[in-house]
A = this chain, B = another copy of it.
Amino acid sequence: MRTYDVLVEVSLRPGIADPQGATIERALPALGFEGVSGVRVGKAMRFAIEATDEPAARGAVEELCKRFLTNPVIEDARIELTERS
């Protein structure tokens, strides 16, 4: 078995309202930050997973995202895998 370090970035799908991001964006000019736009807030999950190879690890993480870590109706998941040496 190999160990893979995983980053799952969960973001709201395009078109889904993001009130948290909108609030940050609206607050920034008053705090002295100009030129920031399109703020979207999502989740970043990191963990380690054991699998026989990278496709097996990726498959398990995709299944995990679909069933448990995201709501696929409103959220997308981006997966990064790095084999631990």
List residues of A whose CB falls within 8 A of some B CB.
Answer: 1, 7, 9-11, 21, 24-25, 27-28, 31, 33-51, 60, 63-64, 67-69
* CB <8 Å contact, A42 and B45: yes
A36 to B37, CA, bound (A): 36
Q: How many copies make up the complex?
A: 2
In contact, A38 and B44 (Cβ under 8 angstroms): no
Chain B residues with Cβ below 8 Å from A47 are 21, 25, 36-40
Q: What is the interface of chain A mostly: helix, strand, loop, or mixed? A: strand
In-complex Cβ contact of A44 among B9, B48, B63, B69 (8 A): B9
Q: Closest Cβ of chain B: how far from A65's Cβ, in Å?
A: 11
> Given the interface contacts A24-B69, A69-B24, does A60 sit within 8 Å of B33 by beta carbon?
yes
Q: Which residue of B lies closest to A67 (CB)?
A: B31
